[in-house]
Amino acid sequence: MVSSKMDAVLEFLPTLKKLYSDSFIALFLFGGIFVILGGRQALKRPSEGTMNEAAHNLLLVLSNSALVVLLFGNLSFYSNFLFEYLSLPRVTKDFWSNVPFFYGIIIALIALDFQNYWAHRILHTKYFWGVHALHHSDKHITWSTSYRIHVLELVIMSVVYVTLIGWLSLPATVVAPVAFIRLWHSKLIHCQFDWTFGRFRRILASPNYHKWHHSSKPEAFGKNLCDMFPIWDIMFGTHYDPGLCGTDTGVDGFKDGFLEGQIYPFKYAYIATKKRFKSTPVTPPRTP
């Protein structure tokens, strides 16, 4: 068992290295765009709060990556167990041999975004809010906020992704570019840009659209749950896009600090279970 865990860690090192390299690339890319758009104002030293939140987010990259590997090893084992050992039905690999590469990318993006919408919506219910609250606790949203995820949420979302990818039998030639697109789009929508994407705002989620999702304004709670395509919000009644979002972000009652963030889901679950969910312990401001 120890040997297998060590093998998993060694196999994950290239992925961890890529995470760090992506972080540095994002820092220079989005930082450069911000400076170009903001001019002299953007060159001002970031506030202490912004720096602290960004440091917290990047620390989560290291801790979450290590915990997922050490506790759960290779998630592909889970997929193989479901669809090979249990012989559950799934799309055959031959299906993709007849699908042009570009169409495969589109199909995979739509399928993954659809399941992400519903997984995200579940996380906004009072039963799972404690797991997701850490992501919304960032009061100074930047591209690094995309990393602000509790390890429990990371595991839940990873299992959901692996299940769908396994069911679709997605080839690596499709998974790799789709993962790249989703990773960088996630960073983009958490940037401090006021981009709305204009006439395309109902086709692709923009930074402004997603900022409404993090907004402290009650009308926006539980809205804009899609990751990439607002069509899901439009279809299922969670669309909210009244214009530029200039509101504050964050979660009421959420204490700052790395350890506090890790403890929060367990604290939330304890108090909520004690009250049998008749009233929420820390009112989750974002429920469908």
Running along the chain, 288 residues long, what does each successive block of 10 average in pLDDT? 44 50 60 58 53 71 68 60 72 85 92 94 90 90 86 85 82 86 88 89 95 92 94 96 90 80 86 63 43
Range of the domain at 239: 2-274
> Which pLDDT value is given to residue 209?
96
Are 168 and 94 in contact by the 8 Å Cβ rule? The answer is: no
Query: Is there a domain that residue 281 lies in?
Result: no
> Which pLDDT value is given to residue 1?
44
Query: Is there a domain that residue 287 lies in?
Result: no
> Which pLDDT value is given to residue 9?
42
Question: Tokens for 170?
Answer: 């997605």
List, in order, residues 6 or more apart from 255 with CB less than 8 Å away: 264
> Which pLDDT value is given to residue 287?
41
> Which pLDDT value is given to residue 177?
87
Residue appearing with tokens 């953007």: 42
Helix (H) or strand (E) run with residue 71 in it: helix 48-72
Distance CA 184, CA 186 (A): 5
Query: Is there a domain that residue 279 lies in?
Result: no
pTM equals 0.79
> Which pLDDT value is given to residue 80?
67
> Which pLDDT value is given to residue 254?
81
Using DSSP, state whether 169 is helix, strand or coil.
coil
Query: Is there a domain that residue 211 lies in?
Result: yes
Query: Is there a domain that residue 282 lies in?
Result: no
Query: Is there a domain that residue 284 lies in?
Result: no
Distance CA 249, CA 139 (A): 5
Query: Is there a domain that residue 46 lies in?
Result: yes
Query: Is there a domain that residue 190 lies in?
Result: yes
Structurally, the chain folds into a number of domains equal to: 1
